Structure 1
Amino acid sequence: MSQQMNVRPESLGILSMSSTQSRPGNWKSVSNTPQPSLGRRGMRGNLGAPLEKAKDRKGTLKRLLNYFKNEWKYVMLLCVTIILGVCMGVMAPRFQAEAIDHIKSSELGSLKKILILMLAAYVIHGLSTLLQGFLSAKLSQRVIFRLRGDLFRKITNLPIAYIDTHSHGDIMSRMTNDAENIANIVSSSLSSLLSGMLMLIGTIAMMLSYSPLLTLLSCSTVMLTVVFTTNITRYMRKYFVKRQELLGKLNGTVEEMVTNTRTVTAYNRQAAEVQGFSETADELTKTGIIAEIIGGSMGPIMNMLSNVSFVVVAVFGARFALSGDISIGVISAFIIYAKQFSRPINELAQLYGQIQTALAGGERIFRILDEKEEDKSGGEIVKPIKGVIEFRNVNFSYVPGKPVIRNFSLQVCSGKKIALVGSTGSGKTTIINLLMRFYHVDSGEILLDGKSIYDISTDELRDAIGIVLQDTVLFTDTIRNNLCYASRDITQEELEAAAASSHCDDLIANLTDGYDTVLESSGANLSQGQRQLLTICRAFLSKPSILILDEATSSVDTRTEMCIQDAMTELMNQRTSLIIAHRLSTIQDADEIIVMDHGEIVESGNHEELLAKKGRYYDLYMTQFAGQEI
């Protein structure tokens, strides 16, 4: 069957291929346009970025850690590498101190051994850091591969109702932005977090072993750095938040301009659009300057505070050295330890915001993973399928208390062509949604060959139905793969026969690579009518017992419509067909025409009978063909 299942509930305007479609009533579409990354410059990290927190951080963290279970070998190897690197990083200054003291005391005999140990420590530390980067990247990609795989499988199995009622951009953002945030944390921050904590512990231990008092003096300047960082971050965050908001607004303006450039040009609104863009850009420039000044000042100020720490160590260390409490080599080691001590604190402060953002993203991903999947239960249907469809007293509402379908009853005999007509919002497409089990009825029954559709698995049900929609959906792939989308077991002979029957064989023959031609941007290099012919051919190849045509010719010209009509006539031959149409010229030969209004059948009969009644169908017909005012 055709895989275009995005049939929109017309009464609410819920589903369309565009994720920006508004939803009436209380169904609010939340904008989740991915915002540009502010990146990390110098020592700022993302301290000024808006901090998004997860509501259940412990639960989310626990679930994320479950994805590391299968990667325990990489985790253990990473931990060993980090521990080795931290040990070497802590021991290297000690070797340096001993070397300086040996030089001062002219004890050159063991100096060579100490220098070799110091060199080995720095080399091993550098190699372990390099290996940490490799292992972290490998671990992050393996973890995120499994997480994205689970999320994609979940999305493909979610009910259509869920997709209809949630922003498409938000769903895609969870697959891209949120998953990428988690990957970045694992690749760049996990090792930094562990090594930072171990480095703090090791450095403090070494400093205390040399001089508790000098350690206390060194830590005082580091605490001053932490206090400054905390306060300046609070001040600068509002500017970064405002800058992100303005970036989102500016991107939205550009996107609308590019998407709707024909409309803007047609109404000569270029100057007005440029003015609106300039106003937003000016405000963004001012905010960006302030944000960059504040953010850019953090590095120099923190370097200055770090240098103050060196001065403190040098001054008080010299006094302690003169009094014989410590050696000159210890002073040099303390200067290095003071730097090593402040660096992990600054990194941990930056990682806090990134980890919180990643946990929030993880929570959003798990929220989708926890959604109930579509009910595909049911058994097989007796083959061959006759295509007898029956609706019995069906009632349905998208929003409780606001019925869309009211006591709908209809029997469609095998091989008959039934047309559903009516004004927008009358419930025509909703009937198709219910038949396809995209939504479940509130009450009543829908039968296929005498068997409830809820006793038939969705795979069996949908394999029996082919759909051709108004909004043609083709994929960025070869024409062959697009046509064989419902089944890959199609022979070349069957493919060519279907193309001839759907009148798209000449179209394909005139393309450079024929069936192997790759469609650009989902068929943007073809006309609307050409794309529609290809979707009809795809429906042919799905070999359905029941055919659904939903406004299949409403967006093409009259000449193309005639060609498509011929293709559809061939396609509908000996198949039960349900046709939704606003152009009444396309359904005049239907076996029965069902006129709907507010979810109810108000008239039924063939074209001549309904015209003779001079009822609702007559009014619709005269409006289209006689220009009569109703």
Structure 2
Amino acid sequence: MTDANPPKVQLRRKSTMGQAVEKPQDTRGTLRRLLDYFARAKRLLVALLAAVLAVTVTSLLTPALQGAVIDAIQARAWDRFGLLLGCLLAAFAGNIAVTLAQGLLSARLSQNIVRRMRYDLFRKIDNLPIAYLDRHSNGDVMSRMTNDIENISNTVSQSLGSLVSGLLTVAGTIAIMFWYCWQLTLITLVTVVLTVLVTKGMSHRMRTAYRQRADALGRLDGHAQEMISGYRTILAYNRQDAVRAEFAEISDTLTREGIRAEVLGGSMGPLMNAISSLGFVIVAAFGGYFALRGLITIGVISAFILYAKQFSRPLNEIAQLFGSVETALAGAERVFALMDQPDEDNAGTETPDHVTGNVSFRHVNFSYLPGKQVLYDFNLEVHAGQKIALVGATGSGKTTVVNLLMRFYPVDSGEILIDGQDIRTLRRDWLRHNTAIVLQDTVLFSDTIEHNIKYADPGADDARMIRAAEMSNCAPFIDRLPQTYHTFLKQAGAGLSQGQRQLLNIARALLADPRILILDEATSSVDTRTEQNIHDALVRLMKNRTSLIIAHRLSTIQDADVIVVMDKGRVVETGNHEELLQKRGAYYALYMAQFAGQKT
């Protein structure tokens, strides 16, 4: 069992009476970073803006042409009537065409942007330090890749064109209305003041609601992913009722946040419709009065009513789109928050031509969290070709030693040397290329057995792969499969036993042919016979290689050159098996307890 792992913590939230509370948001910064992605698709953006401009122009022309047609009928100017009617029909047809083009361009632009965002986010996830993923829910990270970016995609494809077109339409409509009758326009603009006040009052509440809904959705995704991956354990311990209750609690929180967000977002449309209806009453009442005074014609009143409707329609659409825009901004901020995490430390430029395999830990101190130290003044000298075993109770710091050697975490103080050179000065990829690790938790990918073994060295030929499989004793069960090495492993090897999956992991490490080999409870999931077969293969593999073995089964490390006994982050004993038994100290107690069948 992996020891001294850092605790899981939730992401960027605190709790008050069971409710998720958001931290201050940086809307301007988020918008600025989103605009950077738009700038990378300049051609599509320019084409979309051109289509939006064409939609706006045709929308503004149709009321004026309709009013002119009505005035021509009233004046019985039949010579102008035909031309104006033809222009009106052409404007309608043109509006339909450019509206379709706007939808197509919006969809292409949205997919272009989210493709770049997904790539940047995945590249960031690929470079995150182990510490970040240890402390954050996998489901929440996945939610940012899927739900949050999908919200951005929907907003760009469905809302961006309408938003820009609406703003241009409002500006153009106001200009034309002033040209027709500035007095009636000023009276009509009362609705604009009401719209601004309502939008300003609702915006902050909506932003908060959509942010909290996004956080709740991330927690639900994380919980569901964890429960699905641990389903066998849930069944084994009959914890279905407790899991359902916990899921229901998180789901109820998401439901409450979702209802609140939808109610706030949905209320904008009715409020804007009420203000729009008030605008129609104003136009009808005052327009009739101005017509009786001779200030405007009947055709102008008709056009003005259409412009008033056209003026209110974009405002309503903008208000209705406001919710989706807030959702997209909340999602974008979560995406950018992950992108802003520091990359894994890639310091170090040295790439030695030859690796002997001497490893030294000198006065190493380490803690996963401040104030909770895991290793205390840890010292260890491992000579090239030695087989070193780390033993001790769970939580003693054995796996932490491996994490530090692999540079998964940086040391707080002290140094770790390979062939006398501080690993911080070595290139990270060089270090891991010369070090292979087999963890207690098996990791296989949904791919063929061949590709899973060759994951350590994609350029390896089939002969080397088969040799690695034979040395790890997984060749016999592979040969019994219908497609042997071309067998596709679904759900990361769900059809294989735990021991078979671990054997494939060991074959992968064998193929890497490292100078330094790390086995972290590598044989804990296999039966005794298979364990003996693996032990024999590892004896051949570890010849002239430096090997570090973490094991609870003391029977597997009795032939180790040096056994290091750890307790609470400190080395308490070192020596070989016989020497440590003679000392009758910590190792002797572990050995006797284990072989007496007691819990270690």
Instruction: Give me the TM-score of the superposition, normalised by structure 2.
Output: 0.87
Among candidates 98, 108, 119, match of residue 138 of structure 1 = 108
Flag structure 2 segments of 5+ consecutive residues without an equivalent.
14-19
**Per-residue deviation, residues 106-126 of structure 1 (Å, max 9, x unmatched):** 211121211121122122222
Among 428, 436, 441, the alignment partner of 2:398 is 428
Q: Distance in 2 between matches of 1:54 and 1:363?
A: 11
Aligned to 2:576: 606
SS at match of 2:122: helix
Moved more, 84-93 or 343-352: 343-352
Summarize deviations over 1:356-406 as a string: whole Å, max 9, x none.
Answer: 443444444344444433333334444442212122232223334443222
Matched, 1:56 2:37: no
Following the alignment from structure 2 to structure 1, what is the Cα–Cα distance between the partners of residues 38 and 395? 50
When structure 1 is superposed on structure 2, of 106-115 and 578-587 the one drifting more is 106-115
The letter for the 1-side match of 2:568 is H
Correspondence for 1:442 among 408, 412, 415: 412
After superposition, where does 1:220-619 map in structure 2 within 5 Å?
220-221=190-191, 303=273, 306-619=276-589
**CA 1:485 to 1:239, structure 2 compared with 1: closer, same or farther past 3 Å?**
closer
Distance 1:501 1:123 in 2: 74
Q: 1:156/1:299 Cα in 2 relative to 1: closer, same or farther (>3 Å)? A: closer
The 8 Å contact of residues 226 and 345 in structure 1, kept in 2 or not, is answered as no
- Alignment partner of 1:72 is 2:53: no
Task: State the SS of the aligned residue for 2:368.
Answer: coil
Asked whether 1:186 is paired with 2:156, we answer yes
Name the residue aligned to 1:87.
Answer: 57
Which range moves more in the overlay, 250-259 or 418-427? 250-259
3-state SS of paired residue (1:588) = coil
Residues 166-220 of structure 1, C-alpha deviations (whole Å, 9 max, x = no match): 4433433333333333333333333222211111111111122222333344444
How far, CA to CA, are the matches of 1:403 and 1:268 in structure 2? 36
- Partner of residue 129 from structure 1, selected from 74, 81, 99: 99
Following TM superposition, by how much is the alpha carbon of 1:547 offset from its aligned partner in structure 2, in angstroms? 0.6
Cα distance per residue 1:92-113 (max 9 Å; x no partner): 1100111111122221112121
Structure 1, 593-602 or 360-369: larger mean CA deviation: 360-369
Could you tell me how far 1:471 is from its partner in structure 2?
A: 0.4
Contact kept? 1:408, 1:599, Cα under 8 Å: yes
Deviates more, 1:151-160 or 1:415-424: 151-160
Q: Mark the runs of 5 or more structure 1 residues left unpaired by the alignment.
A: 1-6, 15-21, 33-49
1:553-579 residue CA offsets vs partner (Å, 9 max, x unmatched): 223343443344344344334321100
Alignment check: 8 A CA contact 1:54 1:359 kept = no
Question: Cα–Cα, structure 1 residues 139 and 245, in superposed 2: closer, same or farther, change >3 Å?
Answer: closer
Match of 2:10 among 10, 26, 29: 29
Which moved further from structure 2: 237-246 or 542-551? Answer: 237-246
Query: Any conservation in 1 of the 2:210–2:327 contact (CA below 8 Å)?
Result: no
Per-residue deviation, residues 466-485 of structure 1 (Å, max 9, x unmatched):
11000011112222221111
Q: Is the 8 A contact 1:477 1:519 kept in 2?
A: yes
* 1:134 partner amino acid: L
Supply the AA of the counterpart residue of 1:200: V
Q: Which moved more, 1:81-90 or 1:138-147?
A: 138-147
CA distance, structure 2, for counterparts of residue 163 and residue 242 of structure 1: 22
> Which residue, out of 90, 106, 112, partners 2:82?
112
Cα distance in 1 for residues equivalent to 2:285 and 2:235: 71
Deviation at residue 509 of structure 1 after TM alignment? 2.3
Mapped contact 1:52–1:360 kept (Cα < 8 A): no
Structure 1 position 254, deviation (Å): 7.0
State which of 580, 585, 592 in structure 2 corresponds to 1:622: 592
- Structure 2 counterpart SS, 1:172: helix
Instruction: Name the CA distance, whole Å, in 1 between partners of 2:596 and 2:533.
Output: 25
- Alignment CA distance shift 1:54-1:78 (3 Å): farther
Give the counterpart of 2:133 among 139, 155, 163: 163
Please say if residues 140 and 219 of structure 2, whose CA atoms lie closer than 8 Å, have aligned partners that are also in contact.
Answer: no
CA distance in 2, matches of 1:152, 1:81: 33
Write the distance in 1 (CA, Å) between the matches of 2:198 and 2:386. 78
1:285-310, CA deviations, whole angstroms, 9 ceiling, x for partnerless residues? 99989998897777567546544543
**Kindly tell me: are residues 54 and 245 of structure 1, through their superposed partners in 2, closer, same or farther at Cα, counting changes over 3 Å?**
closer
Contact 1:222 1:309 in 2 (8 A): no
Q: Deviations over 1:412-470 (max 9, x none)?
A: 22222110001112111111112112222233332212322223211111111111000
TM-score if structure 1 supplies the norm length? Answer: 0.83
- Does structure 2 retain, via aligned residues, the 8 Å contact 1:86–1:198? yes
1:315-341 deviations in Å (ceiling 9; x for gaps)? 443343344322222222222212211
Find the residue that maps to 1:474 and give its secondary structure. coil
| 1:583-626 deviation per Cα after TM superposition (whole angstroms, max 9, x unaligned) | 11111121221111122221111112211211101111111111
Q: Which amino acid aligns with 1:58?
A: R
| Alpha-carbon distance, 1:504 to partner | 1.5
Quote how far apart the aligned CAs of 1:53 are: 8.2
Asked if structure 2 preserves the Cα contact closer than 8 Å seen for 1:380 and 1:457, the reply is yes
The higher relative CO (CA closer than 8 Å, separation ≥ 6) is in 1
| In 2, Cα distance between equivalents of 1:608 and 1:536 | 28
Residues 504 and 537 in structure 1, CA contact (< 8 A), matched pair in contact too:
yes
Greater Cα offset, 295-304 or 326-335:
295-304
Using the TM superposition, give the Cα deviation of residue 411 of structure 1 relative to its aligned residue in structure 2, in angstroms.
Answer: 1.7
| Superposition CA RMSD, Å | 3.7
Equivalent-residue separation in structure 2 for 1:81 and 1:251 (angstroms): 39
Q: Structure 1 stretch 506-515 or stretch 483-492: which is displaced more?
A: 506-515
**Pair 1:153–1:292, CA change in 2 (3 A):** closer
| Mapped partners of 1:581, 1:504: distance in 2 | 21
Q: Give the counterpart letter for 1:427 in structure 2.
A: G
- The change in CA–CA distance for 1:627 and 1:518 in structure 2 (over 3 A counts) is closer
- Cα distance in 2 between the residues matched to 1:447 and 1:284: 50
- Distance in 1 (CA, whole Å) between partners of 2:214 and 2:32 is 31
**Alignment partners' CA distance in 1, 2:156 and 2:425:** 46
Q: Report the AA paired with residue 497 of structure 1.
A: R
- Contact 2:211 2:327 (8 Å CA) reproduced: no
Q: Secondary structure at the match of 1:67?
A: helix
Alpha carbons 1:483, 1:534 under 8 Å: kept: yes
Query: What's the secondary structure of 1:562's corresponding residue?
Result: helix
1:583 is matched by which residue type in structure 2? Answer: R
- Paired residue secondary structure (1:403): strand
Q: What's the CA shift string for 1:490-533, capped at 9, x where partnerless?
A: 11111112111211122222333332222212222221111101
Q: Provide the secondary structure at the position in 2 that maps to 1:109.
A: helix
Assess if the C-alpha contact under 8 Å between 1:31 and 1:169 holds in 2.
no
Q: Distance in 2 between matches of 1:162 and 1:261?
A: 25
Does the C-alpha gap of structure 1 residues 484 and 205 become closer, same or farther in structure 2, counting only changes over 3 Å? same
**Correspondence for 2:179:** 209
| 1-structure distance, mates of 2:367, 2:280 | 72
Deviation of residue 133 (structure 1)? Answer: 1.9
Number of aligned residue pairs: give it. 594
* 1:30-49 equivalent positions in 2, closer than 5 A: 30=11
Q: Secondary structure at the match of 2:363?
A: strand
